[in-house]
Structure 1
Amino acid sequence: MNKQEWISSKQMAALFFAFMTGSSIINIPAPLAGAAKNGAWLSPLLANAMAMLLLACMLYLHRRYPGMTFIDYSRKIIGNWLTLLLSIPLLILVMLDLSYIVLDIGGFFASSMMQATPPVVIHFLVLLTAALTVRGGIEVMARLFSMLIPVMLLAVMIILIFVLPYYHPESLLPLFPGGIKPVVHGAYLAFGFPYAETVLFAMILPLARQEKENPLGKWMVAALLINGIALFLSILSSIMVLGPLAGEAKYSLFQLARLIQVQNIIERVESIIGIALIVGSLMKTTIMLFIFTVIVSKVLKSHDEKIFVFPVTLFALLLTLTMFNHEVEFFEAVYVVWPLFITMAAVVPFMLVTLVAFFKEESLKPGDDSGKV
């Protein structure tokens, strides 16, 4: 049996920020610009507001059932068999998400920086690094990511500042060239990736220590707000620099980094910045792998989730090599199928459990004997 590990509220918020921002900040600008055109910068704001609702529900359940994961209090609220039924699509979802992130990292290196390297090499190294980090425990993850997050944010700031000469604010007009519907469509895409994934954090939230001076809710809300601002600025900058091409340029921030040039002295820095950006995807891979092992251990009622790390890692590696034959298939799975799948497999069950818990609490309020057995 493993010794119980705990992290602070700030560290949990840092993990949450890395999880929500990791792969999205480099991937989401292009599809949103393609869907919502000039109004794409509004889409993540709407999606972020919906994520706040999910976060509020998650924190409510965390306060009501302290020390319990989603699987634990779901058993308490709706019963063991219904929880097991909900856990099956959840496990499939997390495994697919893990594989998609690794596939995206491999696609980034194959198309931008290491074109002669076979994708299997990139996938293997990423998953091995993630597996070894997960084996180290959540305390190791929290300390490591607290150092890597500033590196990722610094890379984003360098891009946004050094491409200032290329900004063309007129590219933002007209604001709604196709009406409000494309903006809502963009919000739907942004909600599916990354904001619907908020509910997955209910599996590791109990690992945060209870600290009166540092309330967990405050730090989690701050992390989600900073994430929204980062995505908003990234999309806004992509549109102002790339204009109509913003929806076509994959890995928008990396494309912006290629434009950085200062007095013929500082140039061709996109490789360094690209690695800093992809660090975010590596952090998300690690957290997703950790969440999957926690879900498996809770479903099987095992006290040692680390024994599942390497088998799960091997299975994820095999998935990355066999799921898609063409990049178009991957794009369709991520931006067409995924938002609907994660909503039905994770968000809807989570909200149903929250509603049942809320009405149970209402029925058991003092002075009301109707809910007592």
Structure 2
Amino acid sequence: MKGSEKSAAYSCTSDVSSLFFLLLIGAAIINIPGPLIGYAGNGAWLSILLSAVTGFIFVASLLYLYRKFPHLSFVEYSNKLVGKPLTILFMLPFITLNLYHLSGNALDISLFMTATMMRETPLYVFVLLTLSIVALTARLGITVFARTSTVLNLTVFGVVLLVLALASEQYQWEHFFPVMPDGIKPVLLGASFSYSFPYADIVLFSMLLPFVDKREYGKLKKGMYLSLLLGTFLLGGITLSTILVFGPIAGERIYSLFEIARTIHLYEIITGVEILIGYSLIAGAFLLDVIILYILSLVIGQLFGIKDEQIIVFPLALIGFLFSMAIISEGVAKWNEFVLVTDILLVTIVNLPLFILTAVAAWRRQIE
């Protein structure tokens, strides 16, 4: 990372916390509720609460390592604790998985556009356009998109709360029961899905913590835990609202929040609210892709000694585009299978180094 940019970004604790909130909800509010309800049924909101526990464990581990190495990123303190060969071994699955996530988020935006608004436009047009703008934004640096995220989060949070409130007339509370008709197993299955996305992505944020002044640790800690609570509340609220509005067919709603917004027709005056949701979904997923691309450039730059990480932003975006084309050629069903099954295993492998480094750091502290 460039020293000048790092200095400029120091003390922007609220902006960094805002980025963390966006990391949690950016694409999750598009992708989580429908499939999660398909897994867990009426107990889907319980699955979110269970998986949120892992989120708090991830945050606690990140903050512990940040407190010990406030000026170092995940790659840098991994080099210090276990050496470069092991660090490379740790980061190769991380890079691969997040290239898939980069292309997957762009694909999600494109699928949303072609499924709901512009059905005749080829999918690759949206993917190419999305990743091009993502790359241009990532090159501007963290200071720019972190400040943008604060405004975006306020907008998204406000719009989602407004939609959930306006849709309350559609709620049928009899759909809430029974909460666990098939026992605890579907809830645990749903929890494993929501653990893999978005909570397992928290490890990404380890690359951005060095941008916060170590004197701001207290504010950072409060901001991250508050963001985690609000993100969990928002995901749980959307999931519960989907159940209350659609009942037995809730698990079939692919873009559930958008579908909820389409049910709102108050006095023939308040209509077309889904436009606001469409904006929120696209903007959130877009900025999440910016964060992923920026972090990937930092990881690869620090791992292989590239002094100016900006030079690899566009090549990474191109790789993301090629990944998206490969996913499209396999079919959307294949991508859904990857997200719902393979991704759970891969994110677990990617997150193991966080706990290994936490244990090594704690052990070294004891022997010192």
The TM-score bracket by the shorter chain reads over 0.9
Which runs of no fewer than 5 residues in structure 1 stay unpaired?
365-373
Matched with 2:339 is 334
Matched with 1:282 is 286
Matched with 1:358 is 362
Q: Which has the higher helix share?
A: 2
- Residues 293, 309 of structure 1: 8 Å contact kept: yes
1:215-226 aligned within 5 A: 215-226=219-230
Q: Tell me which amino acid in the other structure corresponds to 1:329.
A: K
1:68-79 aligned within 5 A: 68-79=72-83
**Cα shift at 1:175:** 1.2
Matched with 1:253 is 257
- Residues 134, 286 of structure 2: 8 Å contact kept: yes
Q: Tell me which amino acid in the other structure corresponds to 1:133.
A: T
Q: Which of 54-63 and 5-14 deviates more?
A: 5-14
Provide the rounded CA distance (Å) in 1 between the counterparts of 2:324 and 2:75.
Answer: 27
Q: Tell me which amino acid in the other structure corresponds to 1:73.
A: Y
- Residues 327, 334 of structure 2: 8 Å contact kept: no
Q: Tell me which amino acid in the other structure corresponds to 1:227.
A: G
Matched with 1:16 is 20
Matched, 1:198 2:199: no
Alignment partner of 1:210 out of 196, 211, 214: 214
Provide the rounded CA distance (Å) in 1 between the counterparts of 2:96 and 2:142.
Answer: 23
Provide TM-score, normalisation by structure 2: 0.96
**Cα shift at 1:39:** 0.6
Q: Tell me which amino acid in the other structure corresponds to 2:47.
A: S
Matched with 1:169 is 173
Matched with 1:234 is 238
- Residues 26, 277 of structure 1: 8 Å contact kept: yes
1:12-32 superposed Cα distances (whole Å, 9 cap, x missing partner): 100000111100012100111
Provide the rounded CA distance (Å) in 2 between the counterparts of 1:155 and 1:197.
Answer: 24
Provide TM-score, normalisation by structure 1: 0.95
Q: Tell me which amino acid in the other structure corresponds to 2:233.
A: I
Q: Tell me which amino acid in the other structure corresponds to 2:366.
A: E
- Residues 54, 198 of structure 1: 8 Å contact kept: yes
**Cα shift at 1:317:** 0.9
Matched with 2:183 is 179
Structure 1 residues 93 and 326, CA, compared in 2 at 3 Å: closer, same or farther? same
Provide the rounded CA distance (Å) in 2 between the counterparts of 1:280 and 1:150.
Answer: 11
Which runs of no fewer than 5 residues in structure 2 stay unpaired?
none
Matched with 2:324 is 320
1:170-210 superposed Cα distances (whole Å, 9 cap, x missing partner): 11111111101111111100000110000111011111123
Matched, 1:53 2:57: yes
Provide the rounded CA distance (Å) in 1 between the counterparts of 2:36 and 2:89.
Answer: 34
- Residues 22, 284 of structure 1: 8 Å contact kept: yes
Could you say what the CA RMSD is over the residues aligned between the two structures, in angstroms? 1.3
SS in 2 for 1:46: helix
Alignment partner of 1:298 out of 298, 302, 316: 302
Provide the rounded CA distance (Å) in 1 between the counterparts of 2:74 and 2:314.
Answer: 24
1:274-322 superposed Cα distances (whole Å, 9 cap, x missing partner): 1222211011111000110010101112221111111111111111112
Q: Which of 121-130 and 54-63 deviates more?
A: 121-130
1:215-253 superposed Cα distances (whole Å, 9 cap, x missing partner): 211111111111000001010100011111111110100
SS in 2 for 1:176: coil
- Residues 33, 246 of structure 1: 8 Å contact kept: yes
